[in-house]
Structure 1
Amino acid sequence: MALRNAVLAALLEGEASGYDLAKGFDASVANFWLATPQQLYKELERMAAEGLIETRVVQQERRPNKRLHSITPAGRAALHAFIAEPAKPTAIRDELMVKIQGMEPEDAPVVRAALVEKSDWAKAKLARYERLRTRLLNGRSEQAYLEESDRIGPYLTLLRGISFEQENIRWSEFALSVIDRRIAARAQ
Protein backbone atom coordinates (compact mmCIF):
# COMPACT_ATOMS: atom_id res chain seq x y z
CA MET A 1 0.00 0.00 0.00
CA ALA A 2 1.28 3.42 -0.84
CA LEU A 3 1.32 6.30 1.62
CA ARG A 4 -0.89 8.18 -0.83
CA ASN A 5 -3.84 5.89 -0.10
CA ALA A 6 -3.59 6.59 3.62
CA VAL A 7 -3.39 10.34 2.87
CA LEU A 8 -6.39 10.20 0.54
CA ALA A 9 -8.37 8.33 3.20
CA ALA A 10 -7.39 10.94 5.80
CA LEU A 11 -8.45 13.78 3.49
CA LEU A 12 -11.95 12.33 3.30
CA GLU A 13 -12.38 13.97 6.72
CA GLY A 14 -11.88 17.36 5.07
CA GLU A 15 -9.27 19.92 4.09
CA ALA A 16 -6.06 19.75 6.11
CA SER A 17 -2.56 21.16 6.22
CA GLY A 18 0.50 18.92 6.13
CA TYR A 19 0.94 19.63 9.83
CA ASP A 20 -2.67 18.64 10.54
CA LEU A 21 -2.25 15.45 8.53
CA ALA A 22 0.97 14.55 10.37
CA LYS A 23 -0.72 15.18 13.71
CA GLY A 24 -3.77 13.23 12.57
CA PHE A 25 -1.61 10.35 11.41
CA ASP A 26 -0.09 10.19 14.86
CA ALA A 27 -3.52 10.16 16.50
CA SER A 28 -5.52 7.92 14.21
CA VAL A 29 -3.90 6.48 11.08
CA ALA A 30 -0.79 5.47 13.04
CA ASN A 31 -2.70 2.46 14.30
CA PHE A 32 -2.21 0.95 10.83
CA TRP A 33 0.20 3.18 8.88
CA LEU A 34 3.37 4.99 9.94
CA ALA A 35 4.93 7.88 8.06
CA THR A 36 7.43 10.53 8.99
CA PRO A 37 6.46 14.18 8.39
CA GLN A 38 9.15 14.34 5.67
CA GLN A 39 7.61 11.37 3.85
CA LEU A 40 4.18 12.94 4.18
CA TYR A 41 5.23 16.32 2.75
CA LYS A 42 7.02 14.68 -0.21
CA GLU A 43 3.95 12.57 -0.91
CA LEU A 44 1.67 15.63 -0.76
CA GLU A 45 3.84 17.31 -3.43
CA ARG A 46 3.65 14.24 -5.68
CA MET A 47 -0.10 13.90 -5.16
CA ALA A 48 -0.68 17.57 -6.06
CA ALA A 49 1.44 17.15 -9.21
CA GLU A 50 -0.68 14.12 -10.17
CA GLY A 51 -3.95 15.96 -9.55
CA LEU A 52 -5.04 13.71 -6.68
CA ILE A 53 -5.24 16.66 -4.28
CA GLU A 54 -5.64 20.41 -4.57
CA THR A 55 -3.56 22.76 -2.50
CA ARG A 56 -4.47 26.30 -1.58
CA VAL A 57 -2.36 28.79 0.32
CA VAL A 58 -3.86 30.66 3.26
CA GLN A 59 -2.08 33.93 3.97
CA GLN A 60 -1.22 34.41 7.66
CA GLU A 61 0.11 37.58 9.24
CA ARG A 62 2.28 36.39 12.11
CA ARG A 63 3.06 32.91 10.89
CA PRO A 64 4.27 31.37 7.65
CA ASN A 65 1.52 30.88 5.09
CA LYS A 66 -0.45 27.68 5.50
CA ARG A 67 -0.96 25.19 2.68
CA LEU A 68 -4.31 23.39 2.89
CA HIS A 69 -4.89 20.20 0.94
CA SER A 70 -8.15 18.62 -0.18
CA ILE A 71 -8.99 15.53 -2.17
CA THR A 72 -9.99 15.97 -5.81
CA PRO A 73 -12.42 13.83 -7.81
CA ALA A 74 -9.35 12.12 -9.33
CA GLY A 75 -8.10 11.45 -5.80
CA ARG A 76 -11.44 9.93 -4.79
CA ALA A 77 -11.37 7.76 -7.91
CA ALA A 78 -7.81 6.61 -7.09
CA LEU A 79 -8.84 5.79 -3.53
CA HIS A 80 -11.90 3.84 -4.70
CA ALA A 81 -9.72 1.93 -7.19
CA PHE A 82 -7.33 1.06 -4.36
CA ILE A 83 -10.25 -0.06 -2.16
CA ALA A 84 -11.47 -2.36 -4.96
CA GLU A 85 -8.09 -4.13 -5.18
CA PRO A 86 -7.63 -7.35 -3.21
CA ALA A 87 -5.86 -6.67 0.11
CA LYS A 88 -2.39 -8.11 0.45
CA PRO A 89 -1.55 -10.19 3.53
CA THR A 90 0.03 -8.24 6.35
CA ALA A 91 3.68 -8.93 7.13
CA ILE A 92 5.05 -8.07 10.54
CA ARG A 93 8.47 -6.45 10.54
CA ASP A 94 9.43 -5.90 14.15
CA GLU A 95 13.04 -5.33 15.15
CA LEU A 96 12.32 -6.34 18.76
CA MET A 97 11.07 -9.77 17.61
CA VAL A 98 14.41 -10.37 15.87
CA LYS A 99 16.25 -9.42 19.08
CA ILE A 100 14.08 -11.77 21.13
CA GLN A 101 14.49 -14.56 18.58
CA GLY A 102 18.27 -14.24 18.77
CA MET A 103 18.49 -13.61 22.53
CA GLU A 104 21.10 -15.57 24.46
CA PRO A 105 20.91 -15.79 28.27
CA GLU A 106 23.38 -12.93 28.71
CA ASP A 107 21.19 -10.69 26.49
CA ALA A 108 18.14 -11.04 28.73
CA PRO A 109 18.61 -7.77 30.70
CA VAL A 110 18.97 -5.70 27.52
CA VAL A 111 15.99 -7.38 25.87
CA ARG A 112 13.99 -6.93 29.08
CA ALA A 113 14.64 -3.19 28.98
CA ALA A 114 13.50 -3.08 25.33
CA LEU A 115 10.33 -4.97 26.26
CA VAL A 116 9.56 -2.53 29.08
CA GLU A 117 10.02 0.34 26.64
CA LYS A 118 7.73 -1.35 24.09
CA SER A 119 5.09 -1.97 26.74
CA ASP A 120 5.24 1.62 27.99
CA TRP A 121 4.96 2.89 24.43
CA ALA A 122 1.95 0.61 23.79
CA LYS A 123 0.26 1.83 27.00
CA ALA A 124 0.74 5.47 25.98
CA LYS A 125 -0.57 4.78 22.49
CA LEU A 126 -3.55 2.88 23.89
CA ALA A 127 -4.38 5.85 26.13
CA ARG A 128 -4.29 8.18 23.08
CA TYR A 129 -6.53 5.80 21.15
CA GLU A 130 -8.99 5.62 24.04
CA ARG A 131 -9.13 9.44 24.19
CA LEU A 132 -9.78 9.53 20.45
CA ARG A 133 -12.50 6.92 20.86
CA THR A 134 -14.18 9.05 23.54
CA ARG A 135 -14.05 12.09 21.21
CA LEU A 136 -15.48 10.12 18.28
CA LEU A 137 -18.33 8.69 20.33
CA ASN A 138 -19.06 12.12 21.81
CA GLY A 139 -21.34 10.71 24.52
CA ARG A 140 -23.06 8.20 22.23
CA SER A 141 -22.98 4.45 22.66
CA GLU A 142 -20.84 2.53 20.21
CA GLN A 143 -23.98 1.08 18.64
CA ALA A 144 -25.52 4.54 18.16
CA TYR A 145 -22.29 5.84 16.63
CA LEU A 146 -22.08 2.95 14.19
CA GLU A 147 -25.73 3.39 13.17
CA GLU A 148 -25.64 7.21 12.85
CA SER A 149 -22.22 8.06 11.44
CA ASP A 150 -21.72 8.59 7.73
CA ARG A 151 -18.18 7.23 7.89
CA ILE A 152 -17.51 4.27 10.19
CA GLY A 153 -14.07 3.39 8.76
CA PRO A 154 -12.08 5.63 11.11
CA TYR A 155 -13.83 4.09 14.12
CA LEU A 156 -13.34 0.52 12.92
CA THR A 157 -9.64 1.08 12.27
CA LEU A 158 -9.33 2.75 15.66
CA LEU A 159 -10.83 -0.36 17.30
CA ARG A 160 -8.23 -2.47 15.49
CA GLY A 161 -5.48 -0.19 16.79
CA ILE A 162 -6.87 -0.49 20.33
CA SER A 163 -6.95 -4.28 20.20
CA PHE A 164 -3.45 -4.36 18.66
CA GLU A 165 -1.98 -2.28 21.51
CA GLN A 166 -3.89 -4.29 24.12
CA GLU A 167 -2.35 -7.45 22.70
CA ASN A 168 1.11 -5.82 22.61
CA ILE A 169 0.75 -5.03 26.33
CA ARG A 170 -0.55 -8.52 27.20
CA TRP A 171 2.24 -10.25 25.28
CA SER A 172 4.93 -7.92 26.67
CA GLU A 173 3.80 -8.64 30.23
CA PHE A 174 3.94 -12.39 29.55
CA ALA A 175 7.37 -12.17 27.92
CA LEU A 176 8.67 -10.02 30.79
CA SER A 177 7.48 -12.57 33.34
CA VAL A 178 9.28 -15.37 31.45
CA ILE A 179 12.50 -13.34 31.14
CA ASP A 180 12.35 -12.25 34.80
CA ARG A 181 12.07 -15.89 35.91
CA ARG A 182 15.03 -16.80 33.68
CA ILE A 183 17.13 -13.92 35.02
CA ALA A 184 16.28 -14.88 38.63
CA ALA A 185 17.10 -18.56 38.00
CA ARG A 186 20.41 -17.65 36.37
CA ALA A 187 21.36 -15.41 39.32
CA GLN A 188 21.05 -18.31 41.79
Structure 2
Amino acid sequence: MALRNAVMAALLEGEASGYDLAKEFDASVANFWMATPQQLYRELERMEAEGLIRARLVEQERRPNKRLFSLTGAGRDALREFTAEPPRPTAIRDELLVKVQAVDAGDDEAVRAAIRERAESARAKLARYERLRIRLLAGRTEPEHLAQAERIGPYLTLQRGIAFEQENLRWAEQALAALDLRATVRR
Protein backbone atom coordinates (compact mmCIF):
# COMPACT_ATOMS: atom_id res chain seq x y z
CA MET A 1 0.00 0.00 0.00
CA ALA A 2 1.28 3.43 -0.84
CA LEU A 3 1.61 6.12 1.81
CA ARG A 4 -0.70 8.26 -0.32
CA ASN A 5 -3.66 5.98 0.42
CA ALA A 6 -3.11 6.35 4.16
CA VAL A 7 -2.82 10.14 3.75
CA MET A 8 -6.03 10.30 1.72
CA ALA A 9 -7.82 8.15 4.32
CA ALA A 10 -6.62 10.53 7.06
CA LEU A 11 -7.89 13.53 5.05
CA LEU A 12 -11.40 12.05 5.12
CA GLU A 13 -11.55 13.60 8.60
CA GLY A 14 -11.28 17.02 6.92
CA GLU A 15 -8.73 19.67 6.05
CA ALA A 16 -5.40 19.32 7.84
CA SER A 17 -1.92 20.79 7.83
CA GLY A 18 1.17 18.62 7.37
CA TYR A 19 1.81 19.03 11.10
CA ASP A 20 -1.76 17.90 11.90
CA LEU A 21 -1.37 14.89 9.63
CA ALA A 22 1.91 13.93 11.30
CA LYS A 23 0.19 14.10 14.71
CA GLU A 24 -2.78 12.12 13.32
CA PHE A 25 -0.44 9.46 11.98
CA ASP A 26 1.32 9.23 15.32
CA ALA A 27 -1.93 9.12 17.33
CA SER A 28 -4.12 6.82 15.26
CA VAL A 29 -2.87 5.70 11.87
CA ALA A 30 0.39 4.47 13.45
CA ASN A 31 -1.44 1.38 14.65
CA PHE A 32 -1.37 0.18 11.04
CA TRP A 33 0.88 2.50 9.00
CA MET A 34 4.14 4.17 10.01
CA ALA A 35 5.53 7.29 8.35
CA THR A 36 8.02 9.93 9.38
CA PRO A 37 7.05 13.60 9.09
CA GLN A 38 9.62 13.96 6.28
CA GLN A 39 7.98 11.13 4.33
CA LEU A 40 4.57 12.73 4.87
CA TYR A 41 5.67 16.16 3.62
CA ARG A 42 7.31 14.67 0.51
CA GLU A 43 4.16 12.66 -0.22
CA LEU A 44 1.93 15.70 0.26
CA GLU A 45 3.99 17.59 -2.35
CA ARG A 46 3.70 14.70 -4.84
CA MET A 47 -0.02 14.28 -4.20
CA GLU A 48 -0.64 18.00 -4.71
CA ALA A 49 1.32 17.91 -8.00
CA GLU A 50 -0.82 14.95 -9.12
CA GLY A 51 -4.07 16.74 -8.23
CA LEU A 52 -5.11 14.28 -5.53
CA ILE A 53 -5.11 16.97 -2.84
CA ARG A 54 -5.15 20.75 -2.81
CA ALA A 55 -3.40 23.10 -0.45
CA ARG A 56 -4.73 26.35 0.91
CA LEU A 57 -2.36 28.89 2.47
CA VAL A 58 -3.44 30.24 5.84
CA GLU A 59 -1.61 33.39 6.83
CA GLN A 60 -0.95 33.75 10.53
CA GLU A 61 0.22 36.85 12.37
CA ARG A 62 2.52 35.57 15.10
CA ARG A 63 3.32 32.18 13.65
CA PRO A 64 4.59 30.97 10.31
CA ASN A 65 1.98 30.61 7.60
CA LYS A 66 0.64 27.12 7.17
CA ARG A 67 -0.79 25.07 4.36
CA LEU A 68 -4.01 23.16 4.88
CA PHE A 69 -4.56 20.13 2.67
CA SER A 70 -7.85 18.63 1.56
CA LEU A 71 -8.90 15.88 -0.81
CA THR A 72 -9.90 16.78 -4.35
CA GLY A 73 -12.50 14.91 -6.38
CA ALA A 74 -9.63 13.07 -8.07
CA GLY A 75 -8.29 12.12 -4.61
CA ARG A 76 -11.67 10.76 -3.54
CA ASP A 77 -11.87 8.80 -6.80
CA ALA A 78 -8.37 7.37 -6.23
CA LEU A 79 -9.29 6.39 -2.68
CA ARG A 80 -12.51 4.76 -3.92
CA GLU A 81 -10.50 2.78 -6.51
CA PHE A 82 -8.01 1.76 -3.83
CA THR A 83 -10.74 0.46 -1.52
CA ALA A 84 -12.24 -1.56 -4.38
CA GLU A 85 -8.98 -3.45 -5.03
CA PRO A 86 -8.36 -6.70 -3.15
CA PRO A 87 -5.63 -6.19 -0.54
CA ARG A 88 -2.24 -7.79 -0.92
CA PRO A 89 -1.44 -10.55 1.57
CA THR A 90 0.25 -9.31 4.72
CA ALA A 91 3.74 -10.53 5.53
CA ILE A 92 5.64 -10.18 8.78
CA ARG A 93 9.09 -8.61 8.50
CA ASP A 94 10.33 -8.26 12.04
CA GLU A 95 14.00 -7.98 12.99
CA LEU A 96 13.23 -9.14 16.54
CA LEU A 97 11.88 -12.44 15.21
CA VAL A 98 15.13 -13.03 13.30
CA LYS A 99 17.03 -12.48 16.55
CA VAL A 100 14.72 -14.88 18.39
CA GLN A 101 15.19 -17.43 15.61
CA ALA A 102 18.97 -17.21 16.19
CA VAL A 103 18.86 -17.01 20.00
CA ASP A 104 20.58 -20.39 20.45
CA ALA A 105 23.62 -19.16 18.53
CA GLY A 106 23.69 -15.64 19.91
CA ASP A 107 23.52 -13.49 23.01
CA ASP A 108 20.36 -14.71 24.72
CA GLU A 109 20.40 -11.89 27.28
CA ALA A 110 20.41 -9.29 24.50
CA VAL A 111 17.49 -11.11 22.88
CA ARG A 112 15.64 -11.20 26.21
CA ALA A 113 16.22 -7.46 26.61
CA ALA A 114 14.84 -6.86 23.11
CA ILE A 115 11.75 -8.96 23.91
CA ARG A 116 11.22 -7.04 27.17
CA GLU A 117 11.55 -3.78 25.22
CA ARG A 118 8.91 -5.00 22.75
CA ALA A 119 6.60 -5.85 25.66
CA GLU A 120 7.06 -2.38 27.18
CA SER A 121 6.38 -0.78 23.81
CA ALA A 122 3.19 -2.83 23.47
CA ARG A 123 2.05 -1.75 26.95
CA ALA A 124 2.69 1.91 26.12
CA LYS A 125 0.83 1.65 22.83
CA LEU A 126 -2.09 -0.12 24.51
CA ALA A 127 -2.37 2.71 27.04
CA ARG A 128 -2.29 5.30 24.23
CA TYR A 129 -4.81 3.34 22.18
CA GLU A 130 -7.15 3.07 25.17
CA ARG A 131 -7.07 6.87 25.60
CA LEU A 132 -7.86 7.23 21.90
CA ARG A 133 -10.68 4.67 22.19
CA ILE A 134 -12.26 6.65 25.03
CA ARG A 135 -11.94 9.86 23.01
CA LEU A 136 -13.51 8.26 19.92
CA LEU A 137 -16.40 6.82 21.90
CA ALA A 138 -17.08 10.24 23.48
CA GLY A 139 -19.24 8.80 26.25
CA ARG A 140 -21.12 6.38 24.02
CA THR A 141 -21.07 2.63 24.27
CA GLU A 142 -19.26 0.79 21.50
CA PRO A 143 -22.54 -0.34 19.84
CA GLU A 144 -23.87 3.25 20.01
CA HIS A 145 -20.68 4.57 18.42
CA LEU A 146 -20.71 1.96 15.66
CA ALA A 147 -24.35 2.74 14.89
CA GLN A 148 -24.19 6.55 15.16
CA ALA A 149 -20.69 7.77 14.30
CA GLU A 150 -20.23 9.58 11.02
CA ARG A 151 -17.18 7.40 10.28
CA ILE A 152 -16.38 4.06 11.91
CA GLY A 153 -13.17 3.26 10.01
CA PRO A 154 -10.92 4.94 12.60
CA TYR A 155 -12.54 2.92 15.39
CA LEU A 156 -12.28 -0.37 13.49
CA THR A 157 -8.59 0.18 12.71
CA LEU A 158 -8.00 1.14 16.33
CA GLN A 159 -9.55 -2.17 17.43
CA ARG A 160 -7.11 -3.98 15.14
CA GLY A 161 -4.19 -2.02 16.57
CA ILE A 162 -5.30 -2.95 20.10
CA ALA A 163 -5.56 -6.63 19.19
CA PHE A 164 -2.13 -6.51 17.52
CA GLU A 165 -0.44 -5.00 20.58
CA GLN A 166 -2.26 -7.39 22.94
CA GLU A 167 -0.86 -10.26 20.88
CA ASN A 168 2.63 -8.71 20.90
CA LEU A 169 2.46 -8.55 24.69
CA ARG A 170 1.11 -12.11 25.02
CA TRP A 171 3.83 -13.45 22.71
CA ALA A 172 6.60 -11.54 24.53
CA GLU A 173 5.51 -12.95 27.88
CA GLN A 174 5.33 -16.46 26.41
CA ALA A 175 8.76 -16.15 24.77
CA LEU A 176 10.39 -14.85 27.96
CA ALA A 177 8.84 -17.71 29.98
CA ALA A 178 10.17 -20.24 27.44
CA LEU A 179 13.66 -18.73 27.57
CA ASP A 180 13.54 -18.75 31.39
CA LEU A 181 12.46 -22.41 31.41
CA ARG A 182 15.24 -23.35 29.01
CA ALA A 183 17.84 -21.53 31.13
CA THR A 184 16.61 -23.33 34.27
CA VAL A 185 16.75 -26.78 32.61
CA ARG A 186 20.25 -26.18 31.25
CA ARG A 187 21.73 -25.34 34.65
Q: Shorter-chain TM-score category?
A: over 0.9
Map of 1:139-158 to 2, 5 A cutoff?
Answer: 139-158=139-158
Q: Deviations over 1:141-178 (max 9, x none)?
A: 00000000121111101000000000100110110111
Q: Distance in 1 between matches of 2:11 and 2:120?
A: 31
Are the counterparts in 2 of residues 31 and 161 from structure 1 also a CA contact under 8 Å? yes
User: 1:185 Cα deviation (Å)?
Assistant: 3.8
Q: Distance in 2 between matches of 1:183 and 1:69?
A: 55
Code of the aligned partner of 2:139: G
Q: Deviations over 1:46-76 (max 9, x none)?
A: 0000010111111122222111111111100
1:134 aligns to 2:134 (yes or no): yes
Structure 2 residues not aligned, in runs of 5+: none
Q: Percent identity?
A: 69
Aligned residue in 2 for 1:84: 84
Question: Is 61-70 or 23-32 further displaced after alignment?
Answer: 61-70
Q: Distance in 2 between matches of 1:176 and 1:139?
A: 38
User: 1:36 Cα deviation (Å)?
Assistant: 0.9
RMSD: 1.1
SS of match in other structure, 2:103: coil
Aligned residue in 2 for 1:102: 102
SS of match in other structure, 2:60: coil
Q: Distance in 2 between matches of 1:106 and 1:146?
A: 48
Map of 1:56-95 to 2, 5 A cutoff?
Answer: 56-95=56-95
Give the TM-score taking structure 2 as reference length: 0.96
User: 1:37 Cα deviation (Å)?
Assistant: 0.9
Q: Distance in 1 between matches of 2:114 and 2:5?
A: 32
User: 1:105 Cα deviation (Å)?
Assistant: 5.6
